[in-house]
């Protein structure tokens, strides 16, 4: 079996003197444990075409907020840490993946990027939108909404972690909601493309049965 190369979107850490592109090693472990080879992508200050072509699939990870202009809203002072260079990386990944029908797994901000760049929108802040609850450093259950090949391998309800303050508002065309908690959409899957995304962080709970199924399923999409 040939090893598959997974392009991984970077995230930015700023300090007084430097900007550092980085990826939490938990994401990389979830890939390497399955004999997948991570390739951390750089900023789009160079042409990423060759690197994207080299990849068999993509992991769009968590991070700061997207610029709300991409879903036709002004920043109400609620979207934090915006860096349009990172937005552009996510957008380039998706454009290439859609055109070439390559698998994509989105996690946290990754779900939000996928939803926005494929035509959906976000709530800029859960509490400000008067949704059911805050999503900071807690656990809660999710419930299955739709039957798919993926959800058939998962329980109808299980516990997840949560670290986000934004959430899907309008779901992008072509996607179905697969998991939800109260009024928060927690998982989406494309109806015809190999794209799955989750609002929680399965890489932070890799020993849980649900996380193993998610990463194993992503690997299956590559072959």
Among residues 66, 65, 37, 40, the alpha carbon closest in space to that of 51 is found at 40
The pLDDT of residue 186 is 97
The pLDDT of residue 135 is 54
Residues 170, 70: Cα–Cα separation, whole Å? 13
Give phi and psi for 171, each to the nearest 5: -80, 135
Q: By the 8 A CB rule, do 68 and 75 touch?
A: yes
Q: pLDDT for 152-180, tens place per residue?
A: 999 999 999 998 899 999 999 999 999 99
Instruction: Provide the whole-model pTM.
Output: 0.95
The pLDDT of residue 133 is 57
Pairing type for strands 57-60 and 138-144 reads unpaired
Among residues 151, 195, 154, the alpha carbon closest in space to that of 171 is found at 195
**Ranges under pLDDT 50 in the chain:** none
CB atoms within 10 A of CB 18: 7
The pLDDT of residue 198 is 98
User: How many percent of the chain have pLDDT more than 90?
Assistant: 86
The pLDDT of residue 171 is 99
Residues 150, 12: Cα–Cα separation, whole Å? 31
**Distance of CA 73 to CAs 44, 48, 120, Å?**
24, 28, 12
For the chain, list the domains and their CATH numbers.
5-221 (3.40.50.880)
């Amino acid at each position: 079996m040939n090893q598959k190369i997974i392009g991984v979107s970077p995230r930015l850490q700023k300090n007084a003197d430097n900007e550092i592109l980085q990826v939490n090693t938990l994401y990389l472990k979830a890939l390497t444990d399955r004999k997948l080879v991570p390739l951390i992508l750089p900023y789009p200050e160079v042409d990423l075409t060759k690197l994207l072509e080299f990849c068999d699939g993509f992991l769009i990870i968590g991070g700061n907020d997207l610029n709300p202009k991409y879903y036709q809203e002004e920043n109400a002072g609620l979207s934090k840490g915006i860096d349009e260079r990172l937005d552009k990386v996510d957008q380039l990944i998706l454009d290439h993946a859609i055109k070439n029908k390559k698998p994509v797994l989105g996690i946290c901000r990754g779900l939000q990027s996928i939803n926005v760049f494929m035509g959906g929108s976000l709530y800029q802040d859960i509490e400000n939108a008067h949704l059911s609850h805050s999503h900071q450093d807690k656990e809660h259950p999710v419930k299955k909404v739709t039957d798919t090949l993926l959800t058939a391998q998962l329980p109808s309800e299980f516990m997840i972690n949560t670290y986000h303050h934004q959430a899907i508002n309008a779901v992008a065309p072509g996607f179905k909601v697969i998991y939800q908690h109260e009024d928060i959409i927690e998982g989406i899957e494309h109806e015809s493309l190999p794209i799955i995304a989750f609002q929680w962080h399965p890489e932070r709970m890799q020993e849980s049965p649900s996380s193993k199924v998610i990463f194993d399923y992503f690997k299956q999409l590559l072959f």
